[in-house]
Amino acid sequence: MAKKYSSIKREITFFIIVLMLFVIGGLSFFMVKTQTESLEAEIKLRGLSIAKNLAGGIGDALLTDDELGMARLLSDAMENKGVRYAFVVDEKEIIKAHNRIERIGGRYEPAAVFNVVETEPYRIIIVERDGEKIINFEVPAVARGRLTLGTVHLGISYSLITDVLNDVYVKIAVIAFVVIVLGIAGAFFLGAAITKPIAVLAKGAGIIGTGNLDYKVKVKTKNELGALAGVLNMMTRDLKSAQEVVIKQQRMEKELEVARDIQLSLIPGNLEEIKGYEVAAYYKSAKEVGGDYYDLMPLGEGKYGFVMGDVSGKGIPAALIMTMCRSILHAESRMNETPDGAIRALNREIYRDMHEGMFVTIFYAVLDTKNNTLNMVSAGHNDTLVLRSAGGEVEAYNPKGFPIGTDPGPRFDKVLKNEVITINAGDKTAIFTDGISEAMNEAREEYGQERLINIMKANTGKSSSEIMKILKKDLADFVGDYEQSDDIAVMIFEKK
């Protein structure tokens, strides 16, 4: 009995179909997943924006019981595409305003929750209302920036996502159908000659599957396989476009990581010990790295240089500018007897390297441990605080000076002035960046310099290290979980 063999065209056709389904299926899944994540992120941002804008106006309207104003705000919110409902409930879960008037005054009945998207700082959940899948945004209604009177609920239909995805599914199905039909026809007409292009496609699919979306599948034939290669390249380009946002974000995160490494390298690991003095320091970087920097430099003959600097801007540019400032100041501080001379030289050296709009505020002081004096200069920096042991009062010092990089020299040199004060036993000096005074809590309230002054006054008898511990705890308690946008740097030193 003769052994039966299958048709080579049938085998090739089967192979092509399997290959195309695999490639199209994998790429389609990736495309749908990427598109879904992108759409969900867009809906989330838009929903939160509408809800927060609504909450901002509703809070004041609740305070004055302005029903007409609340109705107008809800009506405006409902005009946005996909918004299914908008209402506000008070702390007792009573509906105070609703886009459907008959619901006002009733008790809020939570719907069944399908999924919790996030809970902080705002609650976003997916629920079902009236048979429809809804993305529910909950934002506190705050009056006058601090008084929470209720919660705004905004519902956006999930169909904004599913409608777009349905279109994507149709396009993928059409592309898949066309490609498969062309592949089958090509298999019957080309036979064995089709093997080489298939190998090229398989190789390309493998490379693209590893994430190389710059790879182009090159098939010279002008048949169905050439069309398949074109479709594959088109889908790859679409995927690459969808990933651009993710890649950009990763690049920014890498830049911030490099900037953080640069900045941390500037911060001294161990502070120089000063005979007769105690020095404490604290530094905390923000998520988006800035250019804060502090230093303590031995200058010889019992003198020590204290530095506290803050570069405008974020990321690598700010970190590099502060690196240059540190290097120049280390050199100039030893060639200039007074702080103002070193800072004037620093400004002249670095001005030409500063980009437009960038500047540096620096406090620089020379402590003379033999005479117990502090000779200080401030280039646009914030106050320096001195807690006097005799009397327990805090004195604020801020000698005149422009920020570095705002003037090439003449005006800068003329305005910059030294100020010399005496440091007595038990006196404590605090130098810091605006990351302390401008630290915010969830209510958008600033920590403020006055709070730091009160901590120093209340702990006159404690050491610098003890005051630093108290300050760090008080700052952490005030800020809570609210993400800070600026670095925090502070040094406290005292004469024993």
486 found inside a domain: yes
Domain count, the chain: 2
305 found inside a domain: yes
Q: Which two tokens stand for residue 275?
A: 């005979």
In terms of domains, do 278 and 234 share one? no
194 found inside a domain: yes
How far apart are the C-alpha atoms of 401 and 396, rounded to whole Å? Answer: 15
Boundary-marking domain end, from 256, 290, 322: 256
Q: Which two tokens stand for residue 74?
A: 């809800």
Positions in the chain short of pLDDT 70 = 1-13, 183-196, 199, 202, 225, 245-247, 249-250, 252-266, 287-290
Contact between residue 302 and residue 336 where contact means Cβ atoms under 8 Å apart? no
368 found inside a domain: yes
Q: Assign residue 162 the CATH number of its domain.
A: 3.30.450.20
Q: Residue 33: its pLDDT value, please?
A: 80
**Angle formed at CA 151 by CA 145 and CA 154, multiple of 5 degrees:** 115
In terms of domains, do 239 and 147 share one? yes
List the one residue out of 143, 139, 219 whose CA is nearest residue 179. 219
In terms of domains, do 242 and 331 share one? no
How far apart are the C-alpha atoms of 496 and 253, rounded to whole Å? Answer: 44
In terms of domains, do 163 and 118 share one? yes
| DSSP assignment string, 302-336 | TEEEEEEEEESS-HHHHHHHHHHHHHHHHHHHHH-
Q: What is the CA 423 to chain-centroid distance, rounded?
A: 41
Q: Which two tokens stand for residue 111?
A: 């719907």
List the one residue out of 431, 402, 429, 405 whose CA is nearest residue 417. 402
How far apart are the C-alpha atoms of 235 and 223, rounded to whole Å? Answer: 19
In terms of domains, do 250 and 274 share one? no
Boundary-marking domain end, from 256, 291, 307: 256
Boundary-marking domain end, from 203, 234, 256: 256
In terms of domains, do 397 and 454 share one? yes
| DSSP assignment string, 403-450 | PBTSSSSHHHHHH---EEEE--TT-EEEEE-HHHHT-B-TT--B--HH
How far apart are the C-alpha atoms of 386 and 376, rounded to whole Å? Answer: 12
Contact between residue 386 and residue 397 where contact means Cβ atoms under 8 Å apart? yes
Contact between residue 217 and residue 233 where contact means Cβ atoms under 8 Å apart? yes
How big, in percent rounded to 5, are the helix, strand and coil portions of the chain?
50, 25, 30
**Which domain covers residue 358, as residue numbers?**
267-495
Q: Assign residue 478 the CATH number of its domain.
A: 3.60.40.10
Order of all β-strands in the sheet with 291-300: 291-300, 303-311, 360-368, 373-379, 419-422
Name the pairing type of β-strands 428-432 and 384-387.
antiparallel
Please confirm whether the linkage preceding 121 is cis (ω < 30° from 0).
Answer: yes
For 233-245, b/e burial (b = at least 16 CB within 10 A) is: bebbeebeebbee
Model pTM score = 0.52
In terms of domains, do 312 and 456 share one? yes
In terms of domains, do 291 and 430 share one? yes
In terms of domains, do 418 and 278 share one? yes
In terms of domains, do 20 and 128 share one? yes
In terms of domains, do 235 and 279 share one? no
Q: Which residue type, as a one-letter code, is found at position 374? A: L
373 found inside a domain: yes
Q: Residue 445: its pLDDT value, please?
A: 93
262 found inside a domain: no
How far apart are the C-alpha atoms of 361 and 364, rounded to whole Å? Answer: 10
* Cα dihedral 343, 344, 349, 355 in deg (nearest 10): 80
8 found inside a domain: yes
DSSP state letter for 91: T
247 found inside a domain: yes
In terms of domains, do 209 and 280 share one? no
How far apart are the C-alpha atoms of 48 and 45, rounded to whole Å? Answer: 5
